[in-house]
Amino acid sequence: MEPESTVTTCYRHPKMESHVRCTRCDRYICPNCMREAAVGHQCVECVKEGARSVRQARTVFGGRITAVPLVTYVLIGLNVLFYLGELVRPEFVDRFGMLGAGLQGPDGTHYVWQNPYPAELHPEGLAGGEWYRLLTGAFLHIPVTDGSFGLLHIVMNMASLWNLGRVVEGQLGRVRYLALYLLSALGGSVLVLLIAPDDVTVGASGAIFGLGAAYYVMARRLGADMNTVNRFMTGLLLWLVISSFFASWQAHLGGLLAGGVVTLAYAYAPRDGRRSLIQAGVCAALLLVLVLAVWGKVGELTGAV
């Protein structure tokens, strides 16, 4: 009696004959399942497992290295989308712009805040519970119908976001970069609330000034050519002064300060297992301080404090 021939098959495709083993798990694999390895071939599952075990490359600030500034693209897209919404519905600016306290009549007329206020008027802005304005205002811009600066406002801000955002996101990684951007925007809105609660302000400038502060702090941390960086920072501070004549300097300054605080934590946190925890803790602490500042100011305006 002749012995039966032993036929080996791929562990993933039992109908396919195979004579090659995975160099990692020693299972038979067919040509469709073979992946080139340093020695021999590996199966699909072993390649995936090996990729998970490889430590991801990190920047000096702890962020994952990414080639595509995806968050910057999304932020620019959102700003442009909001601006298009303004063109269709101009009332978006009054509805979602940053406003600390105001009054609105039954016919939609807006009035300066006063407390107590007439019964026929109702409060709007943060004094009316509309806390979402702290962030929505940072995605709106001066409408093109409000003079020549309207279109220039968003063009300049998006050009700045494109130039700064790609650099900062590449160093911080997407999560840290998004936290920096939102906290800078929030910092700008809070300073507007504290100093000029009656003004309706819009624009991504506060967040962009935060990115400017981040660029400066990162450059010092990385030992970059400070002559170039100092010229950039001088221009940024000069723009802060010039913009006070036609834009909200409070939002610019608030974003600059918040962005500086966040990036200092990113740049100088110990490079060990505590780094991410310390960085997240500073961001959370800053958020708490800003929220408490808003709560206190709104309470002062409405008489609750």
Residue at a domain's end among 54, 78, 98: 54
> pLDDT tens digits for 131-164?
999 999 999 998 877 655 668 888 888 998 998 9
Q: Residues 83, 198: one domain?
A: yes
Please report the beta strands in 17-113, taking only residues with DSSP state E, as ranges in sequence order: 20-21, 28-29, 35-36, 41-42, 102-104, 110-112
Cis amide leading into 106 (omega within 30) = no
Residue range 22-48: average pLDDT? 85
Q: Residues 99, 50: one domain?
A: no
For the whole model, what pTM was predicted? 0.80
Residue 59 counted as domain residue: no
Query: Tokens 């609660």 belong to which residue?
Result: 197
Q: Residues 203, 138: one domain?
A: yes
Q: Residues 49, 74: one domain?
A: no
Q: Using CB atoms within 10 A of its CB, is residue 90 exposed (0-12), middle (13-18) or buried (19+)? A: middle
Cα separations (Å) of 83 from 66, 92, 160, 202, 255? 28, 9, 16, 11, 21
Our count of domains for the chain comes to 2
Residue 65 counted as domain residue: no
Mean pLDDT for the chain overall: 87
> pLDDT tens digits for 223-242?
877 787 778 778 777 877 77
Residue 130 counted as domain residue: yes
Higher pLDDT, 222 or 137: 137
Q: Residues 17, 76: one domain?
A: no
Which domain, by its residues, includes 103?
A: 70-302
Question: Tokens in use for 238?
Answer: 């000069």
Least confident of 6-10, 75-79, 296-300: 6-10
Q: Residues 283, 258: one domain?
A: yes
Q: Residues 11, 137: one domain?
A: no
Residue 162 counted as domain residue: yes
> pLDDT tens digits for 166-217?
999 999 999 999 999 999 999 999 999 999 999 899 999 999 999 999 999 9
What pLDDT was estimated at residue 90?
A: 85
What pLDDT was estimated at residue 305?
A: 58
Instruction: State the Cα–Cα distance between residues 134 and 189, nearest whole angstrom.
Output: 5
Q: Residues 11, 151: one domain?
A: no
103 phi, psi to nearest 5 deg? -130, 145
Looking at the predicted structure, is the pLDDT value of residue 247 above 80?
A: no
Q: Residues 42, 77: one domain?
A: no
Higher pLDDT, 99 or 5: 99
> pLDDT tens digits for 4-17?
457 888 988 888 88
Instruction: State the Cα–Cα distance between residues 214 and 197, nearest whole angstrom.
Output: 27
- Kindly calculate the radius of gyration of the chain based on its CA atoms and give it in whole angstroms: 27
Least confident of 56-65, 127-136, 259-268: 56-65
What pLDDT was estimated at residue 21?
A: 87
Q: Residues 96, 45: one domain?
A: no
Query: 16 by DSSP, 3-state: which?
Result: coil
Q: Residues 11, 129: one domain?
A: no
Run of H or E including 123: strand 122-124
Q: Residues 121, 261: one domain?
A: yes
Residue at a domain's end among 26, 54, 82: 54
In the 3-class helix/strand/coil scheme, how is 200-221 assigned residue by residue?
CECCCHHHHHHHHHHHHHHHHH
Residue 64 counted as domain residue: no
Question: Tokens in use for 4?
Answer: 């039966």
Residue 82 counted as domain residue: yes
Instruction: State the Cα–Cα distance between residues 234 and 41, nearest whole angstrom.
Output: 57
pLDDT band at 2 (very low <50, low <70, confident <90, very high): very low
Q: Using CB atoms within 10 A of its CB, is residue 150 exposed (0-12), middle (13-18) or buried (19+)? A: middle
- Kindly state the DSSP code that residue 3 receives in the 8-state scheme: P
199: domain CATH number? Answer: 1.20.1540.10
What pLDDT was estimated at residue 1?
A: 43
